[in-house]
Structure 1
Amino acid sequence: MTQRIIYAIFTFLSVISYGQVKLTMKPDKTDYSGREVVNLTITLELNGDNLVQQSKLMLPDLSKFNMIGSGSFNQGVRDAETNTAIDEYVTRIALEPKQKGKIRIGSVLVTVNNKIYKTEPFDIFIRDIEKKPIANVSNDVYLNMEIDDREVYQDQPTVAVLRVYSKNIDNFRKVKNIKLPEQENINVHPVNLKRSEIDPSGYGNMASQILAVFMVFPNEAGYVEVPAVSASVNTFSNKSKIASNKVKLNVKKLPEGSPESFKNAVGNFKVDVFHSSKEKVEVKKPVNVTVKVSGEGNLADLNLPKIEESPDYDVFAPKITTRLSPGLTGLKGEVLAKYILIPKKAGDLIVKTEPFAYFNPAAKEYVNLGQEKLDLTSFSHDEVLEARSTVEKVNDYTNTLLETVDSPVLKTTSFKVKEKSKFNWNVLLVNISILIVLFLAYLVFRNWQKNRDIIKEKPTSKPLGSVAETEQEIRESLKTDITDYFAYLENLKISGDYQKFFETFEEMDQEVRSQYFQSSKEDFKVFLERHNGRSVAESYQELLQKIQIEKYSPLTSEDSINDLLKDIVKLYSLISK
């Protein structure tokens, strides 16, 4: 009887466990401080052969977090005692909180055999982020580095935006010497370092301005932390350093199955090899061969395909030139590797590049371009000479002469002529004419050297003019180049040296008054009223008053100095006509 009861209990337990679904979501802890990462683990366990997962895991609302990484794996086993299959699916999510305080994380949903299962919601607590004082200025200045796309492939770029925040707009011009992050596992390339317009509706009732936009290329997989961007805040009293936040990236590893020719090219590219010169290739003479990689991606950092070595020629290290500009998915343009080859024998030559492959993140596949080939035909020195026509030989002799003759009158190397495949009498006549002109010019130059000390001009006395003419000549000699002062004042305005700005204005005003023989500002005002009219004199008086007000104002803004400079340029341009 006892054995029957035990058998019935085991049978009942097996029926209960058959077809069981277990769905859970747990955080690594419930209390976080600062910018700690919240790690969530979601586990789905299907215990039974007849269980079918009909939908993907539906995550709760995570808008209060930045998702910086995710990953999943599954494993399946079979229970030997019950002979049932157990499938376990585990998903891990890494989140960065956007706000402090208590945050509720909702349920995860999944549909199995037409039935919806969900987890229980729970709360986590984010403690206040301790902000250290960044800059010793009247109103603090903060830097913030923003990266929207934080999940990229290895060597795939993501765009970073650097913003400055402050309650005092005047502090923006004090932020200088921006230093972009540097680290071995990332490559950083600037996109735009021009400042944007000031946005008055920034975060936390603070105005903001974009200082820089740059691309970050992570060159290793895993969690990569982009270092902070630093800058300096220059004030009249001190100079302090500020730093932005750090940003974590989830860098995905490139898929397996890459070709042997793949190195680190990520994007969309094309490879060409060419020989641009039209001259014949000669044995033991250098030949320029260019390998061009064009497209969009990590062009600035990829390993270029090299020219393969061959017993038919010698190849030397290339000179790399780049023509790049920012694109939507990386840097676009072209990279040129200019090689020098020296053929060892006459005949047909085949120049090959190394095989080249790249990973296209848009299509998520590898593209193998293979090798590029360039066919060349090299000639011996005797074959090159025999192929030349009579006029080409004359041109060659003329060019040699023009290179060796050192003429003090003409730059003879500019008259060199190129080889022509057809006989051209005009070229021959031009070469002969050049030689004759050079010889005549040399004779004229020697004759001028002999006679330059003999011929002397007798100075003529300058007639005396009237008093008015004499005064006009003196005034012209004392006339100040007013545009130099305008340019200097503009530079002082941009640099923010307002004290020097007012000193330079006083110096300019004194120079202009001296030009018109007026020692004081009152006399100069009377002079302007008599010669330029009352309106000009009144404008001069009003400008002096504005100068005094701004000079001794406790707070001088860039806009007021800009308006003042416009009035100065307008008035003094009219006076100095």
Structure 2
Amino acid sequence: MKQKIIYAIFTLISVISYGQVQLYMKSDKTDYNGKEIVNLTIVLELNGNNLEQKSKIMLPDLSKFNMIGSGSFNQIVNDADTNTAIDQYITRIALEPKQKGKVRIGSVLVNVNNKIYKTEPFDIFIKDIEKKPIANLANDVYLNMEIEDREVYQDQPTIAVLRVYSKNIDNLRKVKNIRLPQQENLNVHAISLKRSDIDPSGYANMASQVLAVFMVFPNESGYVEIPSVSASVNTFSTKSKIASNKVRLNVKKLPEGSPESFKNAVGNFKVDVYCPPNEKIEAKKPVNVTVKVSGEGNLADMSLPKIEESPDYEIFAPKITTHLNPGLTGMKGEILAKYILIPKKAGELIVKTEAFAFFNPAEKEYVNLGQEKLGLTAFSHDQVLEARSTVEKVNEYTNTFLETVDSPVLKTTSFKVKEKSKFNWNVLFVNVAILIGLFIAYMLFKYWQKKQSIIKEKPIPKPLGSVAETEKKIRESLKTDISDYFAYLENLKISGDYPKFFETFDEMDTEVRNQYFQSSKEDFKVFLERQNGSSVAESYQELLQKVQIEKYSPITSEDSLNDLLKDIVKLYSLISK
């Protein structure tokens, strides 16, 4: 009987020692100054092979603190008394207190083998906290940068609010020249620089006002400090510079296991590739292909997927167009990368983009979108001509005839026939009637000229005057009606006749130079600098360079030609005054 009792006791002792769980939490000390960081250490010890942790460690309510950082690791410790290996899971948390006085830190919970273990709560004492709503002082004006969410992922945004405080409300209007922080490991984008209404009951009975709201994207992990926001306080007698407080962020490293195509895109995005609809693609002729990335996140700073090179086509550097607005989780909108692509041969070709992946912080996972593909069919020049219908050929002949009328005054391009899928007899009859009407008008004008009698009056001798007056009269007689050229250039731009556009510009430039007795463009530049100043002369030189770039560009878009025409009208209107 004694042997059975001894055996049961030893069995019970072995079971107790085989499976043992210890959970405890401690702070580095109990009393803290307002500037000190509270460091908590949580230790979970599992002594036994049959113990399984069913849940993560559940933290207590830490709303009375700002979490500065946290980290976890595990280790195996040998117990010298029992000669067993103990698994230790250690978590450390750094906290910044928000209030003074006695603060209670609650229990930590964990589930091991479907049994809940918890720590005992304890109290710590926080001495007076130095309020940080105020940075430095200048003329009784203070700046404060407020960031609520100080723990984010790399390339994930956080919202910063800049406030100004002063006991004198009139001082708030004197704060100007706000400069947002600039640092290599940060990307800062302004959300709003509009001042809010003044709050008369701010901190310490001071009036406050929101000066700016901006979005901060940290592009590296670890502890990242946002530098101060500076501003100036202008008075009648002095001009002072003030700066806000600095804010420290705990930037979490992105999870491991990212796809090879992931670069730095954080948010939620979509990629599309397309070309203009109903566009006839001809071999060895340029075509526009657009890659659109839309969504919300670090759109303004991330690397965009490019179009891959291929032996089937030649591709040029894209023109980037952005349409972005601040969103709830980053910059929201779309970015368009407009490529110029030239097929090298006729036939089917596939345009592929680079593989694209992004990290979704809401789901805490990577999303691999892969490659986007666009199938195109390029036709040879003969195939494009054969595909034209009889109506399209007639319209082309009519348009060519109308364009040969060399007059900047007559808007013949407005009579051009647009391509349509069905034959429109009304358009044909209208064009024929217009041509007949123009011919009849021309004959009537000639007949009227013959009927007119020319009365010659005896000329009265006039004084010759000075050389300057004579030169002015000759210039007035040679003066060109520049508005006619502007109208003609506008018509050529709308019709898409770009070679004729640049030819007409050269003709207009020559006539304007002849008006001022300048044969070459270099002499005309010197003349403009003497008469109108160096700025007009430089604008003339820059305009000539822009014209040459657009003239010999592989493809000319209507938008770029529209900007060029605006510059031409502005400059030549000034010169011909």
Contact 1:179–1:230, Cα closer than 8 Å, also in 2: yes
Deviation for aligned residue 1:413? 4.2
Contact 2:19–2:46, Cα closer than 8 Å, also in 1: no
State yes or no: 1:136 paired with 2:165.
Answer: no
2:295 aligns to what? 295
Amino acid at match of 1:21: Q
1:466-485 to structure 2, matched below 5 A, reads none
1:355 aligns to what? 355
Q: Can you list the C-alpha shifts for 1:148-203, whole angstroms capped at 9, x where unaligned?
A: 11111111111111111112211121111111111111111111221111222211
Q: 1:77 to 1:39 in 2, by over 3 A?
A: closer
Deviation for aligned residue 1:122? 4.0
Q: 1:134 to 1:46 in 2, by over 3 A?
A: same
Amino acid at match of 2:300: A
2:219 aligns to what? 219
Separation in 1, partners of 2:79, 2:448: 113
Separation in 2, partners of 1:24, 1:133: 35
Separation in 2, partners of 1:442, 1:354: 62
Separation in 1, partners of 2:195, 2:55: 48
1:207-286 to structure 2, matched below 5 A, reads 207-286=207-286
Deviation for aligned residue 1:105? 5.6
Moved more, 337-346 or 88-97: 88-97
Q: Can you list the C-alpha shifts for 1:454-475, whole angstroms capped at 9, x where unaligned?
A: 9xxxxxxxxxxxxxxxxxxxxx
Contact 2:25–2:108, Cα closer than 8 Å, also in 1: no
Contact 2:138–2:241, Cα closer than 8 Å, also in 1: no
Q: Can you list the C-alpha shifts for 1:336-373, whole angstroms capped at 9, x where unaligned?
A: 11111101111112111111111111111111112211
1:281-430 to structure 2, matched below 5 A, reads 281-400=281-400, 405-430=405-430
Amino acid at match of 2:383: E
Amino acid at match of 2:142: Y
SS in 1 for 2:259: coil
Q: Can you list the C-alpha shifts for 1:58-108, whole angstroms capped at 9, x where unaligned?
A: 656644431122222222345487342312222221223335x66656465
1:17-166 to structure 2, matched below 5 A, reads 19=20, 21=22, 23-27=24-28, 34=35, 37-47=37-47, 59=59, 62-79=62-79, 82-98=82-98, 104=103, 106=105, 108-110=107-109, 116-118=118-120, 121-123=123-125, 125=127, 128=130, 134-137=136-139, 140-166=140-166
Q: 1:425 to 1:233 in 2, by over 3 A?
A: same
SS in 2 for 1:345: coil
SS in 1 for 2:289: strand
TM-score, normalised via structure 2 length = 0.66
Deviation for aligned residue 1:47? 4.7
State yes or no: 1:169 paired with 2:169.
Answer: yes
Contact 2:283–2:379, Cα closer than 8 Å, also in 1: yes
Q: 1:26 to 1:445 in 2, by over 3 A?
A: farther
Separation in 2, partners of 1:448, 1:175: 75
Deviation for aligned residue 1:245? 1.3
Deviation for aligned residue 1:303? 1.4
Contact 1:38–1:97, Cα closer than 8 Å, also in 2: yes
TM-score, normalised via structure 1 length = 0.66
Q: CA RMSD in A?
A: 3.8
Contact 1:348–1:375, Cα closer than 8 Å, also in 2: yes
Separation in 2, partners of 1:108, 1:219: 35
SS in 2 for 1:281: coil
Deviation for aligned residue 1:320? 0.9
Separation in 2, partners of 1:131, 1:295: 35
Q: 1:279 to 1:21 in 2, by over 3 A?
A: closer
Q: Can you list the C-alpha shifts for 1:230-268, whole angstroms capped at 9, x where unaligned?
A: 111111111111111111111111111111111111111
Q: 1:175 to 1:309 in 2, by over 3 A?
A: same
1:481 aligns to what? none
Contact 2:142–2:165, Cα closer than 8 Å, also in 1: yes
Gaps of 5+ in 1: 1-11, 455-577
Separation in 1, partners of 2:225, 2:236: 35
Moved more, 371-380 or 54-63: 54-63
1:567 aligns to what? none
Deviation for aligned residue 1:269? 1.4
SS in 1 for 2:173: helix
SS in 2 for 1:282: coil
1:520 aligns to what? none
> How many residues were matched structurally?
438
Amino acid at match of 1:384: V
Amino acid at match of 1:210: V
Deviation for aligned residue 1:283? 0.9
Contact 1:19–1:49, Cα closer than 8 Å, also in 2: no
Gaps of 5+ in 2: 1-12, 456-577
Percent of paired sites with the same residue: 73
Separation in 1, partners of 2:219, 2:142: 29
Moved more, 160-169 or 104-113: 104-113
1:441-520 to structure 2, matched below 5 A, reads none
Separation in 2, partners of 1:255, 1:102: 38
Q: Can you list the C-alpha shifts for 1:289-331, whole angstroms capped at 9, x where unaligned?
A: 1111111111112211111111111111111111112222222
Contact 2:178–2:232, Cα closer than 8 Å, also in 1: yes
Contact 1:316–1:341, Cα closer than 8 Å, also in 2: yes
Q: 1:449 to 1:351 in 2, by over 3 A?
A: farther
Amino acid at match of 1:187: N
Contact 2:151–2:251, Cα closer than 8 Å, also in 1: yes
Q: 1:346 to 1:51 in 2, by over 3 A?
A: closer
Q: 1:448 to 1:354 in 2, by over 3 A?
A: farther
Contact 1:31–1:126, Cα closer than 8 Å, also in 2: no
1:556-571 to structure 2, matched below 5 A, reads none
Contact 1:296–1:327, Cα closer than 8 Å, also in 2: yes
SS in 2 for 1:39: strand
Contact 1:143–1:162, Cα closer than 8 Å, also in 2: yes
Q: 1:225 to 1:418 in 2, by over 3 A?
A: farther
Q: Can you list the C-alpha shifts for 1:350-398, whole angstroms capped at 9, x where unaligned?
A: 1111111111111111111122111111111111112223332343344
1:164-203 to structure 2, matched below 5 A, reads 164-203=164-203
Q: 1:230 to 1:276 in 2, by over 3 A?
A: same
SS in 2 for 1:181: coil
Contact 1:54–1:114, Cα closer than 8 Å, also in 2: no
Contact 1:394–1:428, Cα closer than 8 Å, also in 2: no
Contact 1:19–1:50, Cα closer than 8 Å, also in 2: no
Amino acid at match of 1:356: F
Q: Can you list the C-alpha shifts for 1:442-463, whole angstroms capped at 9, x where unaligned?
A: 8999999999x99xxxxxxxxx
Amino acid at match of 2:90: V
SS in 2 for 1:426: helix
Amino acid at match of 1:339: Y
SS in 2 for 1:428: helix
Q: 1:430 to 1:251 in 2, by over 3 A?
A: farther
SS in 1 for 2:136: coil
Separation in 2, partners of 1:114, 1:376: 63
